[in-house]
Amino acid sequence: MTTSAEQLAVDAIRMLSIDAVEKARSGHPGAPMGMADMAIVVWGSFLTVDPTHPEWPDRDRFVLSNGHASMLLYALLHLSGFPLPMESIENFRQLGFPTAGHPEIDPTIGIETTTGPLGQGFATGVGMAIAEEQLRAELGADLVDHRVYGFVSDGDLMEGVAAEAASLAGHLGLGRIVYLYDDNGISLVGPTDLAFSEDVPSRFDASGWHTLTVDGHDRAALREAVTAAVAEESRPSLISCKTHIGFGSPNKQDTASAHGSPLGADEVALVREAYGWDRPPFDVPGEVYEFFATAMARGTSARQAWEERRDRAFATDEDRAARWRAYHDAGPVSAAVPPHEPGASVATRKVSGVVLNAIAAARPDLIGGAADLASSTNTLLDGTGDFSKRDRSGRNLRFGVREHAMGAVVNGITVHGGLRGYGATFLTFSDYMRGAVRLGALMGAPAIWVWTHDSIFLGEDGPTHQPVEHVAALRAIPNLWVVRPSDPAETAAAWEMAMNRTDGPTALVLTRQGLPVPDAMAEPETAARGGYIARDGADAVLVATGSEVWVAREAAELLDDSGISLRVVSMPCVEAFAVQDAEYRSSVLGDGIPRASLEAGVTFGWQSITGDGGLNIGLDAFGASAPWQDLAERYGFTPAAVATRVAEWLGGR
CATH number, residue 382: 3.40.50.970
The domain that contains 638 carries what CATH number? 3.40.50.920
Cα–Cα distance, 292 to 286 (Å, whole number): 10
Residue whose C-alpha is closest to residue 98's, from 77, 128, 80, 119:
77
Asked if residue 334 belongs to a domain, the reply is: no
Asked if residue 326 belongs to a domain, the reply is: no
Q: Which domain holds residue 366?
A: 345-516
Query: CA triplet 268, 272, 273: central angle to 5 degrees?
Result: 120
Asked if residue 337 belongs to a domain, the reply is: no
C-alpha torsion angle, residues 553, 554, 556, 561 (rounded to 10): 150
Q: Which one is catalytic: 403, 496, 575, 599?
A: 403
Residue whose C-alpha is closest to residue 534's, from 602, 485, 470:
485
Looking at the structure, tell me whether residues 441 and 549 fall in a common domain: no
CA-based torsion, 469, 475, 480, 485: positive or negative: positive
Looking at the structure, tell me whether residues 580 and 450 fall in a common domain: no
Alpha helices in 46-147 (DSSP H): 70-80, 86-90, 120-139
Query: CA triplet 28, 224, 163: central angle to 5 degrees?
Result: 55
Looking at the structure, tell me whether residues 509 and 536 fall in a common domain: no
Query: CA triplet 273, 275, 276: central angle to 5 degrees?
Result: 60
Asked if residue 323 belongs to a domain, the reply is: no
In degrees and rounded to multiples of 5, residue 490 shows phi and psi of -70, -30
Looking at the structure, tell me whether residues 285 and 355 fall in a common domain: no
Contact 521, 487 (CB under 8 A): yes
pLDDT at 3: 78
Residue type, 405: A
Domain boundary among 301, 328, 359: 301
Indicate the pairing of strand 566-570 with strand 540-544. Answer: parallel
> Partners of 212 in the beta sheet?
239
pLDDT at 206: 98
Query: CA triplet 165, 114, 144: central angle to 5 degrees?
Result: 65
Looking at the structure, tell me whether residues 468 and 540 fall in a common domain: no
User: Residue 396: which H helix or E strand, with range?
Assistant: strand 396-398
Looking at the structure, tell me whether residues 497 and 541 fall in a common domain: no
Burial zone of 653 (CB within 10 Å; 0-12 exposed, 13-18 middle, 19+ buried): exposed
Contacts of 396 by beta carbon, 8 Å cutoff, 6+ apart: 368, 369, 374, 380, 381, 384, 385, 386, 387
CA-based radius of gyration for the chain: 27
Residue whose C-alpha is closest to residue 89's, from 16, 29, 13:
16
Cα–Cα distance, 184 to 35 (Å, whole number): 9
Asked if residue 523 belongs to a domain, the reply is: no
Query: CA triplet 545, 641, 597: central angle to 5 degrees?
Result: 30
Q: How many domains does the chain fold into?
A: 3
**What 8-state DSSP symbol labels residue 387?**
-
**What 8-state DSSP symbol labels residue 453?**
S
Cα→Cα distances 92→74, 101, 104, 353, Å: 9, 7, 13, 47
Q: pLDDT (tens digit, 9 = 90+) per residue, 352-381?
A: 999 999 999 999 999 999 999 999 999 999
pLDDT at 325: 97
Cα–Cα distance, 368 to 177 (Å, whole number): 20
Looking at the structure, tell me whether residues 495 and 436 fall in a common domain: yes
CA-based torsion, 170, 172, 173, 178: positive or negative: negative
Domain boundary among 494, 516, 538: 516
Looking at the structure, tell me whether residues 139 and 225 fall in a common domain: yes
Contact 471, 484 (CB under 8 A): yes
Looking at the structure, tell me whether residues 368 and 220 fall in a common domain: no
pLDDT at 1: 43
Asked if residue 134 belongs to a domain, the reply is: yes
Regions in the chain scoring below 70 on pLDDT:
1-2, 653
> Partners of 481 in the beta sheet?
506
Looking at the structure, tell me whether residues 58 and 90 fall in a common domain: yes
Looking at the structure, tell me whether residues 567 and 453 fall in a common domain: no
Contact 239, 209 (CB under 8 A): no
Cα–Cα distance, 347 to 458 (Å, whole number): 11
Cα–Cα distance, 608 to 604 (Å, whole number): 9
Asked if residue 306 belongs to a domain, the reply is: no
Residue whose C-alpha is closest to residue 129's, from 498, 415, 426:
415
Looking at the structure, tell me whether residues 551 and 511 fall in a common domain: no
Cα–Cα distance, 357 to 350 (Å, whole number): 11
Asked if residue 316 belongs to a domain, the reply is: no
Q: For residue 403, indicate whether it is catalytic.
A: yes
In degrees and rounded to multiples of 5, residue 57 shows phi and psi of -60, -30
pLDDT at 2: 58
